[in-house]
Structure formats: C-alpha cells, structure tokens
Amino acid sequence: MSRPYPFSALVSSDDLQRALLLNAVSPAIGGVLVRGEKGTAKSTAVRGLAALLPEVAVITGCAFSCDPVAPDPDCPAGPHLADTSAEARPVRLVELPVGASEDRVAGSLDLERALTEGRRAFEPGLLARAHRGVLYVDEVNLLGDHLVDLLLDAAAMGVNHVEREGVSVRHAARFQLVGTMNPEEGELRPQLLDRFGLAVDVRASRDLADRAEVVRRRMAYEADPDGFA
C-alpha cells in the first residue's frame, strides 16, 4: 500500500492544517469539523495527518489497544497482568461509514454464548478500534441519528457501553474526532455540531499559481509516492 499524500505538501491549506495539528496535540479540544465543497483536500489532509502521528504502545494482542502502563480495568480482553508484553504500532485512522450498522460501530454481543457459557463474547466495533487513535467521519452531516447518539455518548464519556438483554460490556473509547462535510449536502445535527471544539471552512484557491502547484505536486506524488517529498 502506498503511503498517503504528505500532510506538509498541501497547498493553501493553512487553516485546515493548523486545526488538525491543534487537535492532535491537545485532543481535549474536542475534535475538528471541516466544512467545504468537494475537491478541497479534506480527506487527504486527515489521512496525511494520521501518518504523522507518533506510534502508540499497546498490549500485544489486545483488540482494544490498551496502554501497557495503564490498561483499561474494564477491558473485555482483560484483565491484563503487570508483565504483559507490549508493542508499538502506528496510530489508527478509523473511518466510520455513514451507512454503518449500530453493531458495527459499537460492537456486538453473542448472547447465546453469554447465556450458555456464562462468559461475555464481545465482538469489538469501530469505537474499540479507534481507541487512542483518530475516528474519521466523512459526510458527517449525513450520519443517521442512531449513530450520532452512539458517537456523542462515546465521545463525551470516553467509554463505549453495549447492553443486550441484560448482558453488558464497557470499554474505553477515547479518540480524536474528525468530521468532514459538504454544506451543499445538508446541515449538521445541532447536537453533533456542538461536540466539535474546532470548525474550519475550506475553499478551493482561485489563484492560478496555487492551482498549478497543486497539479504539479499531485503528478509528482502519483509518479513516485514513496520518493515524493
């Protein structure tokens, strides 16, 4: 797989780059909403940023990306012992599709196994995968209400809670939230709009020199992604 287009190679995107970097340095800001028409490098910027982030230390084999220094006491894959092995891996960029099901986002419980074997059989969802990473929602304004509620709850509490027929599972779900949208395709639900700490509007440059530079850099990248700098 070729590496993503470099974050630093974006042209005339200072506000967008600054907002994404601020959110990465201080996730307590509360996420970034990027508004702009198609072709304004919104998705390219998000993927480029994720590639810049430093690796994170995780407990080997933990599907919930537990920190070996301070593992989640509620981790469904736990309890993790003090001498558990650890490894470093790149920060994950997890994309949340607009049409995803609730089980895919929050995770699913195998009730039959839970009732017959007396153990919680939990299949982690996208919120678990995004823990300690970046959760990216393209066309966030088109997200269904049920997914908006899930996202809001997890983002506010830093925890994902799944309950089915009296069987429940909790796990940490702390992530950098980045949403992109085209205002021409509809407005964002007010409750979700309030969740973002930063919002930035991006527009395609009208400057001919900028446009030419965008094309030149893109062609150079397409010709040699690994050598492009």
**Over the stretch 3-31, which tens digit does the pLDDT of each residue have?**
888 888 888 888 999 999 999 998 888 88
Task: Give strand ranges (E) for 51-175.
Answer: 56-59, 86-89, 93-95, 107-109, 122-124, 134-138, 159-164, 167-172
| pLDDT on residue 144 | 86
pLDDT score, position 117: 64
Which domain-ending residue is among 43, 64, 89? 89
Domain boundary among 43, 67, 89: 89
Q: Which of 35-39, 93-97, 149-153 has the lowest mean pLDDT?
A: 149-153
**186 shares its domain with 98:** yes
Cβ neighbours of residue 186 closer than 8 Å, sequence gap 6 or more: 141, 142
What's the total number of domains in the chain? Answer: 2
Q: Is the residue at 112 inside a domain?
A: no
Per-residue confidence (pLDDT) for residue 74, from 0 to 100:
85
pLDDT for res 84: 84
**Same-domain check for residues 81 and 37:** no
Same domain, residue pair 80 and 187? no
pLDDT of residue 229 exceeding 70, the answer is no
Give a yes or no: residue 77 inside a domain. Answer: yes
Task: Give the range of the structural domain holding residue 24, as residue numbers without chain letter.
Answer: 7-53+92-102+123-158+170-223
How much is the average pLDDT of 64-78?
Answer: 89
Query: pLDDT by residue (tens digit) across 121-161?
Result: 788 999 999 999 999 999 999 988 888 888 888 888 889 99
What distance lies between CA 98 and its chain's CA centroid? Answer: 13
Q: Return mean pLDDT, the chain.
A: 87
Residue 1 has pLDDT above 60, yes or no: no
Indicate whether 36 pLDDT > 80. yes
Most confident of 18-27, 191-200, 202-211: 18-27
Domain CATH for 210 = 3.40.50.300
Contact (Cβ atoms closer than 8 angstroms) between residue 137 and residue 151:
yes
pTM over 0.85: yes
Q: Is residue 110 part of a domain?
A: no
pLDDT given for residue 108 in this prediction: 87
